[in-house]
Amino acid sequence: MSLTPIADFVRDYAASDTSRLHMPGHKGRGPLGCEGLDITEIAGADELYEAEGIIARSEANTARLFGSAGSWYGTEGSSQCIRAMVFLALQAAPKGQGRPVLLAARNAHKALLYAAALLDLDVEWLWPPEGPDASLCACPVSPAALTAALDKLEQAGRRPFGVYLTSPDYLGGVQDIAALAPVCHGRGIPLLVDNAHGAYLRFLPGGRRHPLDLGADLCCDSAHKTLPVLTGGAYLHAGHGLLRPDPAAVRGALCLFGSTSPSYLILQSLDLCAGALAGDWPARLADCVAGLDALKERLSSLCPALVRPCEPLKLVLDGAAVGRSGSALADLFRTHRVECEYADTRYLVLMFTPDNLPRDFDRVEAAAREAIARPGREAAPGVLPAGVWADLARQARPACTIRQAVFGPQARIPAREAEGRVCALPTVACPPAIPIAVSGEVIGPAAAALLEAYGVETVSVLF
C-alpha cells in the first residue's frame, strides 16, 4: 500500500494530459510552476470532508505514525482544528448543565476566543504563576493549580466540558501533560491540547513526548510549523482516552470551520510528509536536535542567562542577559542574514528543523557571540512588573459574554483611552500570547499599563 496515495494520484493526473474542464481557472498552467499539481475534488481525488478514498488512506497512514485513535487533515492551520476540537468536546458534554464553560490556560491562541464566540461558550482562565521569568507567552500549569481551579468551578456549580492547554507555547515551554491528564480524567473531563508547535515531538529519539502519548484526548498540530509541510497543513488527532469521536463527526466539525475548496497542494504535502516520517526524517530530526543542543551549550557557557530552557527545536534568547530587547536582538541577527520567528520586548525566538542548513547554525552562533561581546545598555528590558498576573486576574471582570463582545457594535480607540471600556476583540502582543484583554472583559488599570508597555496603540472596544 502506498504511503503517499494523494501525491501519487495527482502526479499521475498531471502527467495524463487530460483536458481540464474543471476548477481551478489556471487549468494546470501558470507562472508559479506548481499549477499542474493544483487540482480540485475531481473523480478519484476523494473529498476531504467525506473522505473514503485516497485522502482517507493517507490519513490512516498518518494515524499509524502518530499512534492516534484517528488523525484528520486540515488545510487551514491549527486555527481550523482548534475550533473543531472545541466543538467536538462541547458536543460530547452532558446536557442540562447551564452555559458551557471551558477551563483554559490564559496563553491561548486567539482562535480559541473566536471558537468561544462562534459556539457561545464561557472560558474560565488558569493564570500563570508570578516570577522573574514571567512572559505574555507562557502560562505553566501545575497539577495543584489545575486541581484548585476545578474545585473552585465545582463549588460554583459549574463543570467544564474540557480543559484546554497550549503546549509547547511560543517560548518553547512544555506543560507536564503526563501529570495534568490524570487530574482531568479523574473527574471525567477531557484534556484538549493545542500542540501547534509540537507535531515533531512524536518522532524524537529517546522516548515519545507528543501530547497524545501523554494522555491528551484531542490534540491539534500545525504540521507546517515543524514538519516538511506547506503553510496551512494541520492535523486533528483523537487520543485513546475519554473522547472517541465518530470519524464522520470529526469531518463535519472540520467542515463547519473550513473552506469547501481545500488546497490539494497542502493535502499533497501532508501526504508526502507521511512518507518522510516513515523514512529517514526521524534520524535527521535526531541530528538536528543534537546540533542545536550543542549550540545551546556553547552559548550558555559564554553567557549562562542568555539561553532560556525550551523544547528541542527552539532556541529562545533572553535579551535581558545582554542588555537588549528581543526586538533589538532580532535587528542584530538580521545583519547576519538570520530572520527570527518572533521577538518582543525581552525574548528572541528562533525555530530550527532538519531542513535548516549547517550555515544557519553558524550564522546564529556568530550573531549571538556578537551580542554577548557587545552588550546593550537597556536596563532589564521587557521584565514584567511584580504582581502583574494577580492584578490582571483581579481586574479582568467580565461585563458580557465573549460572543456578545465579538459580535457587538465596536470601535477602535487609542489604547491610552481604553481603561474602563469593554474589550471587543482580543488584544494580544503576539499570537499565541496571554491576552492583555479578552473579549467581554473590562480593561482595568493593569491591562492599560501593559498595553502601553507592549506598544499596543489601538484597542477594539464596545460602543
Per-residue pLDDT reduced to its tens digit, 86-119: 999 999 998 877 899 999 999 999 899 999 999 9
Residue 126: enclosing H or E segment and its boundaries?
strand 122-126
Per-residue pLDDT reduced to its tens digit, 127-142: 988 777 777 788 999 9
The x, y and z cell numbers of residue 274, run together, are: 507521511
Q: At the top level of CATH, which class does the domain 282-373 belong to?
A: alpha beta
Average pLDDT over the chain, rounded to an integer: 93
Mean pLDDT of 8-23: 96
> How is residue 384 annotated by DSSP?
P
Q: Contact 195/172 with Cβ under 8 angstroms?
A: no
| Domain range annotation of the chain | 5-97+170-277, 282-373, 388-462
Mean pLDDT of 222-249: 96
Q: At the top level of CATH, which class does the domain 5-97+170-277 belong to?
A: alpha beta
What is the pLDDT, as a whole number, of residue 121?
96
Q: pTM (2 decimals)?
A: 0.94
Per-residue pLDDT reduced to its tens digit, 145-191: 999 999 999 999 999 999 999 999 999 999 999 999 999 999 999 99
- Tell me the torsion sign for CA atoms 438, 129, 209, 298: positive
Give percent of the chain with pLDDT exceeding 70.
97
Per-residue pLDDT reduced to its tens digit, 319-361: 999 999 999 999 999 999 999 999 988 899 999 999 999 999 9
**Fold observed for domain 388-462:** Ornithine Decarboxylase; Chain A, domain 4 (3.90.100)
Q: Is 388-462 the same fold as 282-373?
A: no
- Residues in CB range of 58: below 8 A, 6 or more apart: 4, 5, 6, 73, 267, 270, 271, 274
Site of grid cell 552559548: 299
Q: Is the pLDDT of residue 10 over 60?
A: yes
Per-residue pLDDT reduced to its tens digit, 190-212: 999 999 999 999 999 887 899 99
With cut-offs at 50, 70 and 90, classify the pLDDT of residue 423: very high
Per-residue pLDDT reduced to its tens digit, 271-299: 999 999 999 999 999 999 999 999 999 99
Q: Would you list the DSSP string of 81-103? A: HHHHHHHHHHHHSPSSSSS-EEE
What is the pLDDT, as a whole number, of residue 429?
57
Q: Contact 395/442 with Cβ under 8 angstroms?
A: yes
Q: Would you list the DSSP string of 273-328? A: HHHHHTTTHHHHHHHHHHHHHHHHHHHHHH-TTTEEP--TTEEEEEGGGGT--HHH
Q: Is the pLDDT of residue 432 over 60?
A: no
